[in-house]
Structure 1
Amino acid sequence: MTTDAAPTPVPYDPALEPGLAAFLELVERIPLRADTILANRAHFATIIPPIEAQIGELPLDFEHRRVPGPAGAPEVEVTVIRPRERAEAAAPGVLGIHGGGLVLGTRFFGTPELIELALRYGTVGVAVEYRLAPEHPGPAAVEDCYAALEWFAAHAAELGVDPERIIVSGASAGGGLSAGVSLLARERGGPRLAGQLLNCPMLDDRNETVSSRQYDGIGAWDRNNNDTAWTAVLGERRFGDDVAPAVAPARAAELGGLPPAYLEVGAAEVFRDETVAYASRIWAAGGQAELHVWAGAYHGFSGFSPEAIVSRAANEARDSWLRRTLGVEPAEPAEPAEPAEPSP
């Protein structure tokens, strides 16, 4: 890793600062180090409402299933969320992958997004419970997510889903895993994804960009958190030449032949530069990528500062991509969806 002095950080949008303070108080109350991962995991469990509370009286159904896992690995738990009234036509599908830096969280941290999309567009969502590091180093997490995608695509008819309109979606670690799943699907000739939604994605284990050094000790999911998480995932393999691209997608040598990508990130966060670089490399390979870098925005800003103008713009841009990619229109006029995953 570089030892250069940290460069001056990009200032935050003043309208976002109260939300950032709330993020740090709620999500990052315990500093993340190797010896506090379990304490942080326990804290996360207290801030994620159970699925029953998330759905409440909404006109949705959910069910938990166990599906085949990767070869030689345990089954993968998933939760399916869909409208109670089934449409005659096959619905779009969304494989939702939660955040948490690959070391924290459960699938229910990502289900609010699937609930919102089911209500707004009639989608069928599948939330994945992947194995966490350090107990399960990479590629355990991405292999679990890919196994869930294979099951989702194979059971599309049963679930009332159009297999040509399945996307993978996630924020932070979930964004990185969504990119990794897309790479595995390409390499293995697996399910054909209609798109990949990469929200402030965690893509590069090396943590050496300018933006990663600008937010060292400040902000949401800072450089220290990122180092702690990647070391938990890769151990001694970190920084080596044999890190699997599906685990750290920035390591992929070639980004051609991937599903259309939507990438969004704050200008004032660790993941800014690796997200921009990933989009640029998709374009260089002749692929489709839509990139949004939001001025003065911290990691997870639109979830914790939903009323800010920049957050509304981010939500509207994401919604536009979903509508174009899935070929859907809202069931009725509604406020733009807020992202489900405000933390890594």
Structure 2
Amino acid sequence: MPGDAWSKQPFKALYTAFFVLKLIILIPLLFLRYSVRSARPDPEWSLRVSVTGGIVREVFRYWTQTRATMMDSVEASHRKAIGQFALAEVADASMYTGLLTPGTTKPAPVGGLWFPGPPTQQTDLRHEKVVLHFPGGAFVLAWGTAESGKDVASIMAQHLKATRTFYAQYRVSADDSTRFPAALQDLVTFYHYVLSLGIDPKNIILSGDSAAGNLVVGLLRYLEDLRHVRGSPQLPLPGGAMIWSPWVDISTEAGQDYIKSRNSEMDFLVPSLLQWGVDAYFPKGSRTSDVMPFISPLHHPFKTSVPLFVNAGRNEAFFDSAKAFATEMELDSNRVRFHASDLAPHNLVQSYKGLAMEHQMEVAIRDARDFFAQAE
């Protein structure tokens, strides 16, 4: 089937029926296969983790083939989340400069969810500690639902002592108007929104997983550029940043790069999803030397005074690149902490409850908490 024909009816309905039938057959076979510990991708993995990995890979393949961005699900979740949803309006034009200057891609209002709820006029903002978290999705999948955000917010409140988490859904790349730098424009919009509430920037922790870890790094680079090159005082630096399983090594051959990565056969991602992501996200035309550090930050370290916490699972394909990025950033005299989570596949912060890896998540977030405390 040529192009993205599976994303259009009636082919999408046919493919969906095939997918459902395949899952009905596949799930019992996965349980049977992985009931033998030696047959599991990692013999130390539980049956639950091993089976979940097989199912998740199939779901990712389905979404990729049908080009299902899941943004409709996010928007529906936002409409239902009365008392939690907030819309971040576009900031002043001066906030979007350099690579973020509006062109084909323009800043747009974007929404997110507050956990447990937004600050009110009665809130004492002096005591607020806010995590601004961006979910991943290979730049093309939206994860900003209440169901996805509650587990992230829960761990942030319990162990990082965050009073609130804002779970922010940037635009995914669906057409030319949402390619790079649209998502990065959105991160600036969200950050400006949180600052506009009067929260002390030192009490704001940026957080992002997978592709959104990449975006958080891009936001830090942009803020430092504003601060040091343009001397803008309008967007002060946050108190810290956390990136979880960050996708930091990105090329136009992302699918093949993933296949060549250590742990790719056991991890939960699939090459076709990553290839779809870069094809949709990369800007059209030339990739200049000023653009590529924002798209693929590995081998492009920069100086920042913001403490940076980097987490990666030892069983994920992004482990080596995430660790290498942390090392490069640390060599630039930055305050960096790299934390390796035993047995974890990709994106522990989003999947820890579903995989029964609460222990690994608690160890990681406590390490982040201690790191930020030491950096104060």
Asked if TM exceeds 0.5, the reply is yes
What does residue range 1-344 of structure 1 map to in structure 2 within 5 Å?
A: 12=42, 14-16=44-46, 18-26=48-56, 28-31=58-61, 35-38=65-68, 41-42=69-70, 50=77, 62-68=84-90, 70=96, 72=102, 73-79=106-112, 81=114, 83=116, 86-87=123-124, 89-108=126-145, 111-112=149-150, 113-114=152-153, 116-118=155-157, 121-135=161-175, 136-153=178-195, 155-157=196-198, 161-189=199-227, 190-206=235-251, 207=254, 212-216=260-264, 218-234=266-282, 241=289, 243-250=291-298, 252=300, 254-301=301-348, 303-304=350-351, 306=353, 311-322=358-369, 324-325=371-372
Larger Rg computed on CA atoms: 2
Residues 220-229 or 236-245, more deviating: 236-245
Whether the aligned pair in 2 keeps the contact of 1:32 and 1:225 (CA below 8 Å) is no
Q: CA RMSD in A?
A: 3.7
CA shift in 2, pair 1:80/1:304, >3 Å: closer
Whether the aligned pair in 1 keeps the contact of 2:116 and 2:165 (CA below 8 Å) is no
What amino acid sits opposite 1:50 in the alignment?
S
Per the TM alignment, residue 323 of structure 1 is displaced from its structure 2 partner at its CA by 5.5
Segments of structure 2 that go 5 or more residues without pairing to the other structure are 1-39, 228-234
CA shift in 2, pair 1:118/1:269, >3 Å: closer
What amino acid sits opposite 2:270 in the alignment?
D
Aligned equivalents of 1:101, 1:122: Cα separation in 2: 27
Whether the aligned pair in 1 keeps the contact of 2:107 and 2:186 (CA below 8 Å) is no
The alignment partner of 1:75 has SS state of coil
Whether the aligned pair in 1 keeps the contact of 2:326 and 2:338 (CA below 8 Å) is yes
The alignment partner of 2:333 has SS state of coil
Aligned equivalents of 1:215, 1:250: Cα separation in 2: 19
Aligned equivalents of 1:20, 1:51: Cα separation in 2: 32
The alignment partner of 1:15 has SS state of coil
CA shift in 2, pair 1:129/1:22, >3 Å: same
The alignment partner of 2:133 has SS state of strand
What amino acid sits opposite 1:283 in the alignment?
E
Per the TM alignment, residue 63 of structure 1 is displaced from its structure 2 partner at its CA by 3.5
Q: Give the strand-richer structure, 1 or 2.
A: 1
Q: Could you list the per-position Cα deviations for residues 75-112 of structure 1 after superposition, in whole angstroms to 9, with x for gaps in the alignment?
A: 32233525568457431122111111110014326522
Aligned equivalents of 1:302, 1:83: Cα separation in 2: 18
Q: Could you list the per-position Cα deviations for residues 286-321 of structure 1 after superposition, in whole angstroms to 9, with x for gaps in the alignment?
A: 111111223433113465454979651342221342
Q: Give the helix-richer structure, 1 or 2.
A: 2
2:23 aligns to what? Answer: none
Aligned equivalents of 2:116, 2:369: Cα separation in 1: 18
Per the TM alignment, residue 247 of structure 1 is displaced from its structure 2 partner at its CA by 2.6
Aligned equivalents of 1:320, 1:308: Cα separation in 2: 20
Whether the aligned pair in 2 keeps the contact of 1:222 and 1:270 (CA below 8 Å) is no
Whether the aligned pair in 2 keeps the contact of 1:194 and 1:326 (CA below 8 Å) is no
Q: Which has the higher contact order (CA 8 A, sep 6+)?
A: 1
Aligned equivalents of 2:357, 2:65: Cα separation in 1: 36
The alignment partner of 1:18 has SS state of helix
Aligned equivalents of 1:24, 1:122: Cα separation in 2: 34
Per the TM alignment, residue 11 of structure 1 is displaced from its structure 2 partner at its CA by 5.4
Per the TM alignment, residue 18 of structure 1 is displaced from its structure 2 partner at its CA by 2.1
What amino acid sits opposite 1:149 in the alignment?
Y
CA shift in 2, pair 1:188/1:317, >3 Å: same
Aligned equivalents of 2:334, 2:363: Cα separation in 1: 23
Aligned equivalents of 1:285, 1:228: Cα separation in 2: 33
Residues 236-245 or 317-326, more deviating: 236-245
Residues 190-199 or 236-245, more deviating: 236-245
Per the TM alignment, residue 147 of structure 1 is displaced from its structure 2 partner at its CA by 2.2
Per the TM alignment, residue 28 of structure 1 is displaced from its structure 2 partner at its CA by 4.0
Whether the aligned pair in 2 keeps the contact of 1:197 and 1:261 (CA below 8 Å) is yes
What amino acid sits opposite 2:153 in the alignment?
L
What amino acid sits opposite 1:77 in the alignment?
V
The alignment partner of 1:130 has SS state of coil
